[in-house]
Amino acid sequence: MPFEGTNRTSATKKMPFESTNRASATKKMPFESTNRASAAEKMPFEGTNRAPRMKKIQFTPAEGTPRTAEARFAPSNDTTTTKKMKFMKQIILSLIVLLGASLNACMAKDNQTSETRDISGYTAVHIDGVATVRFTQGDTWACRVEGEAKEVGRLTTTVKNGTLTIDQRKEGKGKQNIQGVTVYLTAPTLAEVEIDGVGTFECETTLNAKDIRCEIDGVGTIEIKDLHCRTARINIDGVGQGDIRVYCDQLKARTDGVSSLKLSGKARSASIKDSFLGRVDSRRLKIGE
């Protein structure tokens, strides 16, 4: 029994250790609570990562600093000055060109001349050079050439097989006429007008013809204000323009190349064809009886 008591005592003595262990366990609780608190403290960081909130940062620009994004990319004074310099150069060059053209015009006026030529027996006009032809229908043939004296002297007017050909004599290699002359023609009738060079044919009065053909193969313009005929054929293949008011029984018109044709008047029957770049305006042309 003593031994049993001794054992009980030892067992009793062991109890403090258990209580001590319990106390130590109790002492560990604050660490757990501390860990929980630290976990709770971490929550704000998790919330921050999930939904970051950006603060608006306002910059107060210093004096002279652009306040807007547009102003920040505005050209500098050097760029503006460069643009102004280029603009001024363009104006000066334009003024020089205009002044030179005016001087050339004044000099050309001083050298203007008029020449009458004895030409007859033609019913067709071909412009192979650089010229403006102004045609008037009359009882007889007549021809007058006006322009700079040098250009009038270079102009050739020849009649062969009923065709009047207007051209220029060549001065030399690399030299070309850029001014041209004006040719005033009068004839009883006209059957053909063709432009192969750089020319203009104008008829401001009434033109009566049986059959007529108008064609542009070069760079030119044909304008006839009042054309009366039986058949009319109009072909524009080069870089040309046409404006014809026609009254006829049969009309055939075609455009090709970089060209435009304006038709008006009346035709009993008409065949009109244009191309991708060639345009025919026949809105004012009446077709039919």
Taking the alpha carbons at both ends of the chain, their separation in whole angstroms is: 153
Query: How confident is the model over 164-177, as a mean pLDDT?
Result: 74
Query: Given this model, what pLDDT does residue 167 score?
Result: 95
Q: What is the pLDDT of residues 63-120, one digit of tens each?
A: 554 444 444 444 556 666 776 676 676 677 667 766 766 666 665 556 899 999 999 9
156 is written with which tokens? 């050739």
pLDDT on residue 79: 67
pLDDT recorded at residue 111: 86
In terms of pLDDT, which residue wins out, 171 or 245?
245
The reported pLDDT for the residue numbered 76 is: 55
Alpha carbon distance 262, 243 (integer Å): 5
Confidence grade of residue 218 (pLDDT, cut at 50, 70, 90): confident
Lowest-pLDDT range of 86-90, 235-239, 269-273: 86-90
What percentage of the chain carries pLDDT values higher than 70? 62
pLDDT of residue 37 exceeding 50, the answer is no
Mean pLDDT across the stretch 117-144? 96
CA diameter of the chain: 172
pLDDT at position 216? 95
Q: String of b and e for 183-193 (b: at least 16 CB within 10 Å)?
A: bbbebeebbbb
Which 8-state DSSP code applies to residue 279?
Answer: E
According to DSSP, residue 172 is labeled S
Q: What angle do CA 264, 267, 268 make, to 5 degrees?
A: 160
Radius of gyration, alpha carbons of the chain: 50
Q: Indicate if the pLDDT at residue 45 is higher than 50.
A: no
* pTM (2 d.p.): 0.63
pLDDT value for 258: 87
Strand partners, 171: none
pLDDT at residue 252, rounded to an integer = 98
d(CA 100, CA 102): 5
